[in-house]
Amino acid sequence: MSDPENSTAVMTTPLEAMKQQRVMWGCALLVGFILIYYGGAPIVPVITGCVLVPAIAALRSWFRSRNKPRFRD
């Protein structure tokens, strides 16, 4: 089995990193709707959190894929 940390996929843009994390975006959207509709949470902080968390995770994975050390044979 392949290790996701050592995959050979190279992400070229942050948008591509965000596309690979579609499930996280969907879950954040679902949680946001539940918090706003059923929980009565304030809208602006919930939307901010639901956008920032997946964006930060996507950018972290993009930076990790860009800064991998290259090994010489």
Nearest to 11 by CA among 50, 68, 51: 68
Residue with the two structure tokens 């920032």: 52
- Model confidence over 31-65: pLDDT tens digits? 999 999 998 989 999 989 888 888 888 888 778 77
Show the CA angle centred on residue 52, arms to residues 54 and 27, nearest 5°. Answer: 40
Indicate yes or no: pTM above 0.85: no
In angstroms, the CA 62 to CA 59 distance is 5
Contact 28, 54 (CB under 8 A): yes
